[in-house]
Chain A
Amino acid sequence: MTAQPVPAATARASAWVVTAADRVFGGTVGDLVPVRFPAYARVFHPALRVGAPVRWSEVATAHGRAMHPLAQWAQLNPPSPGETSRPEQWGSDLRPITARLAVWDEEPVLGSMPAMVAAELVSVLTKHTRTPGRCWFAVWDGYGALSARWRAAPSFELFGRDMALLSGSIASAAFSLSDKPFEDLYANMWWPSDHSWCVATDVDMMTTYVGGSAEAVEALVRNDFLEVLPAAAEHSVTWDSDTVNHARP
């Protein structure tokens, strides 16, 4: 059974994150995860086809696109007939893309880790901290589905977003914070007390970033269940970061 977190007694444990982000959001991985780690990884949330995970690399191959660390979902799915072909309109809007039925029928989860990603990250990252029993979880209090219990937790501000701070064992990362039993919602940012790694999922993104040791990132990249590519703190996370596929017709 997944461990339930508890509201943090104070928001003091967020200080290292806030200090690291004490500036304007610059649109890089280093704005999502503190720039203090030797290695970074990008975890791609899977699309689904008849309920089964579909990797972004499979989508790229199906559409003649290239999979790479800065890939963007919209750029891997060229517009279908009748859809706009203006790159900026296609790429910048978060509009849902119509299913490419032979490839995928459900888009990757946006704004929160999928349950299987949360569970697998817990499994891998447990081995790369000395404090798996004491971790911190920050969740945006702007989620409509966030349970009132967590909304009342001590909070801190990160790039204009109020984040409620919870604590628990690493297993709490896979505990849904939604007030709807049929809708999953997980922390946007979580880290162990020894700061050996940090996981971040932005409200507007379909991927999750991890900063940690070279060994932790390598373990993630080698994981069979997750689709993970190495990243760098200076990598862009904005819609136009996919310069490999962006300009292609």
Chain B
Amino acid sequence: MRNRTMKIVVAVSAFAVALAGPAAAAETGETAPQSALSEGSGTVEVIATPAPGAPGAQAVIRCVGGTDNPHKSHTDPRRANVHVNITCSANVARIAVRGAIYRDGALAGTSARNHVTTGRKSAANHANTACRNNHLYGSWVGGEITFPPNYVPPTGKISAFGRSARITNC
């Protein structure tokens, strides 16, 4: 009989967004909280607008941070993965993104470092941990966007708990 598995659990609740001034946090990086206190919608966004009268600036840029459901890996069956990303509506100067995976609310794994893209509209990262049956896995995405010159604010920071799922097919 086939193994009935993974009940998806998603809730729309607390998340955190901060708009930052000077570009600084990318190297230090957003740090994954040690525990997942809430489940998020899996998306969160920051918006930058052209400075009034600024030459060259075109349109509002919207950047969204998101996570997919934690899941058993099909490339390494001992692991549970989560994919995270930040995607913008237009190319931006820089995106740094990192992710984390939680097991029953406790931090279980983080991406080793920021993944940084320059001059692009997206960046993705991953986190994984040992896959253990019948635990609730959560996710977190963090990062910083540096918008093109003449956009306000010049940078935006994302720190959000994302989607969660119970994995039972490890």
Contact = CB atoms under 8 A, between A and B. Distances in A.
Interface residues of A, number: 37
Interface in B25-75: 42-43, 64, 66-69, 71-75
Given A95-B111, A160-B168, A161-B6, A182 B68 contact: no
Contacts of B43: 144-145
B98 to A, nearest CB: 10
A157 B4 contact: yes
Most buried by B among A27, A182, A239: A182
Interface stretch (A18-26, A63-71, A121-129): A18-26
A160 B162 contact: no
Interface in B124-157: 124-126, 128
Main secondary structure of the interface of A (DSSP, over half): loop
A142 B125 contact: no
A141 B8 CA distance: 9
Nearest to B66: A144
A12 B71 CA distance: 25
B81 interface: yes
A199 to B, nearest CB: 16
A205 B74 CA distance: 8
A205 B112 contact: no
Nearest to B73: A204
A180 B75 contact: no
9 contacts: A94-B75, A95-B111, A95-B125, A110-B83, A140-B69, A142-B8, A180-B64, A182-B89, A203-B83
Interface of A: 18, 22-25, 27, 31, 92-96, 106, 110-111, 140-145, 157, 159-162, 180-183, 202-205, 237-239
Given A25-B169, A145-B43, A181-B89, 15 more contacts: A27-B74, A92-B75, A93-B126, A96-B126, A106-B120, A110-B83, A140-B69, A160-B71, A160-B167, A160-B168, A160-B169, A180-B64, A180-B87, A202-B74, A205-B74
